[in-house]
């Protein structure tokens, strides 16, 4: 149990990343509201998802501190922090649809805008061993798109430089001596996310400035993939800024 | 002095990065041939360059083990390894022009393809504090362009994830416990570059696979810039892959 104050936190999305955050936040004693597009559809699934995660209903039964709600209700239930775990190619539309519920809150975005191309055999995600492609890229970023679409929300880009399973458990990688990054326009929002990261076990959180730095954080996906391919499937890793 | 065998190595380009490599290679006892477009023009300059480096003639006088030659002659003089320190936006054209001299050799490329836009107040390089933009990006990279343009040359992308002053002196950053990367199609070429890096003082060199990984390495430029802005101008840093 953590010494942090018990708060209500929302996690949008029911994939592996969202599950990692929801489970950790519940373990830290927070009240966790997970958002999904269609609660009945999410609970009706009986097969593992495309990433091999067990059906959500099964996962939920193992995590009694977590409730499942429609996106807007989950976001509305949060005191302050909402974690966006919606796929990159759906994020702007889904978040814009619940702008009122998000208004004034801190939205932590960790999505990478991997291209979604329905003409490919694997429209999404990029298969193992293949260098991913991004859209937007270079002159814009998903973090900036979300902030522009939701001017009343304080967007913080973070968590994006490694797998979410080790974001919530940094000590599982090299004893925890590696670096997490935050970027965004609002200093108080970045402070709140840094406090959350501290509760997760992070000791080195580097503030990369404004939301424009989302570009670099998202474009790091190619290096992240290449390092992952080099180390081998499933090897946990992180990056330490040595200075 | 290094225990490595004395060889003839070429460094193409007279900027700060090329100077760092040339000086270090000479210090390690190698015979260093620096290539430039126009020897007379390079030696005629009496003002610092746009990055504030002293005129090359002055620098050369302080480095008696280094000779200055036209690009093709410098490349031809190398036994095996040629380091490409030509600006990203000029690299393909300049290297294609000396393809015969490079044939069969190992070309180490560390260039980032920062956009060069003559309509901007600062066409190149990107000013401090501004997120850089790249061309090519995402679906191609400069490393791949160079390899396609020069099929008879063994291109290794490396050195690109930090300032060249610390590439040649890794122990100046956190005692040297950080990671360097190599990518390319030829295992022997990557081995040769890894040996060079070992002579520079690197103990953690990670092979990122084929030249396609140049994309990730070049697109890391945004993170590198953002980290640099966060740490402050002139602060040396590197990244360690913690696993």
Task: Confirm whether B195 is domain-assigned.
Answer: yes
Task: Confirm whether A106 is domain-assigned.
Answer: yes
* Subunit contact A242:B178, Cβ cutoff 8 A: yes
* Subunit contact A226:B139, Cβ cutoff 8 A: no
Residues of B in contact with A139 (CB under 8 A): 133
Tokens coding B145: 């362009």
Residues of B in contact with A216 (CB under 8 A): 131, 220-226
The confidence score (pLDDT) of residue A125 equals 67
Confidence class for position A19, pLDDT limits 50, 70, 90: very high
The confidence score (pLDDT) of residue A173 equals 96
Residues of B in contact with A220 (CB under 8 A): 216, 219-220, 222-223
> Average pLDDT for residues B210-215, to the nearest whole number?
98
- Per cent of chain A over pLDDT 90 is 86
When scoring A179, A219, A224, A238 by the number of chain B Cβ atoms within 10 A, the one with the most, hence best to mutate, is: A219
* Subunit contact B240:A243, Cβ cutoff 8 A: no
B190/chain A closest Cα distance in angstroms: 14
DSSP string, chain A: --SSPP-EEEEE--SHHHHHHHHHHHHTT-EEEEEES-HHHHHH--S--TT-PPPHHHHHHT-TTEEEEEHHHHHHH-SSEEEE-S-HHHHHHHHHTTHHHHTTSEEEE----B---TTSSS-SSPPTTS---BSS-SS--HHHHHHHH-TTSEEEEESTTS-HHHHS-GGGTGGG---EEEEES-HHHHHHHHHHHHHHT-S-EEE--SGGGHHHHHHTHHHHHHHHHHH-TT---EEEEE-
pTM: 0.95
Confidence class for position B134, pLDDT limits 50, 70, 90: very high
Query: Total domain count for chain B?
Result: 1
Task: Confirm whether A237 is domain-assigned.
Answer: no
Q: Give the bridge partners for B156, in sequence order.
A: B108, B184
* Subunit contact B206:A221, Cβ cutoff 8 A: no
List, for residues A201-234, the tens digit of each pLDDT value.
999 999 999 999 999 999 999 999 999 999 999 8
Task: Confirm whether B238 is domain-assigned.
Answer: no
Q: Nearest by CB to B242, which of A134, A174, A230?
A: A174
In chain A, the residue whose alpha carbon lies closest to the alpha carbon of B138 is A133
* Subunit contact B215:A242, Cβ cutoff 8 A: no
The confidence score (pLDDT) of residue A189 equals 98
This complex has an ipTM of 0.94
Task: Confirm whether A243 is domain-assigned.
Answer: no
In chain A, the residue whose alpha carbon lies closest to the alpha carbon of B180 is A227
Task: Confirm whether B2 is domain-assigned.
Answer: no
Task: Confirm whether B192 is domain-assigned.
Answer: yes
List, for residues A61-106, the tens digit of each pLDDT value.
999 889 999 999 999 999 999 999 999 989 999 999 999 999 999 9
B119: domain CATH number is 3.40.50.720
Residues of A in contact with B220 (CB under 8 A): 216, 219-220, 222-223
Task: Confirm whether A241 is domain-assigned.
Answer: no
Q: Nearest by CB to B226, which of A216, A229, A239?
A: A216
Residues of B in contact with A240 (CB under 8 A): 178, 239-240, 242
Q: Could you tell me the residue range of the domain that residue B218 belongs to?
A: 8-231
């Amino acid at each position: 149990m953590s010494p942090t104050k018990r708060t209500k936190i929302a996690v949008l999305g029911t994939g592996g990343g969202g599950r990692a955050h929801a489970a950790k936040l519940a373990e830290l004693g927070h009240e966790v509201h997970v958002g999904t597009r269609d609660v009945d559809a999410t609970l009706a699934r009986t097969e593992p998802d495309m990433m091999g995660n067990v059906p959500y209903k099964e996962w939920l039964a193992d995590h009694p501190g977590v409730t499942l709600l429609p996106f807007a209700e989950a976001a509305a239930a949060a005191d302050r922090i909402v974690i966006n775990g919606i796929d990159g190619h759906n994020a702007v539309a889904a978040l814009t649809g619940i702008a009122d519920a998000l208004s004034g809150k801190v939205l932590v975005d960790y999505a990478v805008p991997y291209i979604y191309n329905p003409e490919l055999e694997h429209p999404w995600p990029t298969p193992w061993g293949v260098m991913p492609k991004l859209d937007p890229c270079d002159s814009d970023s998903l973090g900036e798109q979300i902030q522009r679409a939701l001017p009343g929300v304080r967007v913080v880009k973070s968590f994006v430089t490694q797998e979410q399973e080790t974001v919530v458990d940094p000590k599982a990688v090299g004893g925890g001596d590696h670096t997490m990054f935050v970027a965004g326009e609002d200093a108080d929002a970045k402070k709140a996310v840094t406090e959350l990261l501290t509760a997760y076990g992070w000791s080195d959180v580097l503030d990369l400035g404004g939301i424009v730095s989302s570009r670099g954080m998202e474009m790091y996906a190619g290096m992240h993939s290449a390092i992952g391919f080099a180390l081998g499937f499933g090897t946990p890793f992180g990056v330490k800024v040595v200075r």
